[in-house]
Amino acid sequence: MAGRIAFLGPTGTYTEEAALLYDPHAELQPFPSIPAVGSAVSSGITEEGVVPIENSLEGSVNFTLDLLISQPDLSVCNEVVVPIEHYMFALPGVKPADVRVIYSHPQALAQCKEYLERCFPGAQQMASLSTVAAVSDMKLSSVPAASISPRRAGELNPDVEIIGRGIQDNANNVTRFVVLAAQDHEPTGRDKTSVCFSFQENDSSGLLYQALGEFARRDINLMKIESRPTKENLGEYIFLVDCAGHRQDANVSEVLDSLSAQCRMLRVFGSYPIWRPDGV
């Protein structure tokens, strides 16, 4: 565990909750953006950093994927999975029927869309920089307002009241966070490896099929696969894969060697333990 951990702030976010769950004894330092967290780790300001990478409802966090693709000095050394429970806060005396504006981060608003349409059809939805900043935006509003924020945001703002809890549309709303460091994790026997790769010419037939076949021939389970634009030419993509196993395992090492020969670019983000909420 690290002495200092950067996280996507401000204090009170779900990312801070993930950092506390990962290491409750570390010195946590909030940073304003995902690239800033990456810079804090790569420059040595902190030993590790925690950023969101995937939500079960809204999909991947592209800022984190792009950071990993572009920063070869960063590795993924661990992951944390946090159930997301959204709360609605308001100033004392404000009833749900009074609310005219609801503030939150766009992802939180999207994750509560059905609830808001059902219970607050006439309220205007306003984007905030974070689910924690939404509380400040709500308190500064000139009309009766509410915020959708984590429970901890309410703890940090004792002058607000809970007017709704567990308001997310899907009870299976969870976010996966990754822990960034200079090096990845040693083998534990229950690991996953994250990589990305691209081809010289993406329009050649069978390139992706051949690459994925390297995993299939060695009976390696693919836990996730997606693509991101290379940002160089239209129609060219970088493919991102999470697979079972550690990069030091013989079969995973063989796949990486084969991909290196086939691909224009191969980057191993890191091997790390699969998250177990019980810590076992």
Catalogue the active-site residues: 175, 177
DSSP letter string over 42-58?
HTTSSSEEEEEEEETTT
What is the phi/psi pair of residue 256, to 5°? -65, -40
Pick the closest to residue 78 from 104, 43, 51, 39 (CA basis): 51
Which residues 6+ apart lie within 8 Å of 275 measured at CB? 78, 79, 80, 81, 176
C-alpha distances in angstroms, 202 versus 136, 195, 229, 255, 264? 47, 18, 11, 20, 10
Pick the closest to residue 238 from 40, 36, 68 (CA basis): 68
> Radius of gyration over alpha carbons of the chain, in Å?
21
What DSSP state is assigned to residue 186? P
Pick the closest to residue 249 from 180, 184, 188, 183 (CA basis): 188
- Residue 64, both tokens: 């984190």
What's the helix, strand, coil split of the chain in %, to 5? 30, 35, 40
Residue with the two structure tokens 């100033």: 91
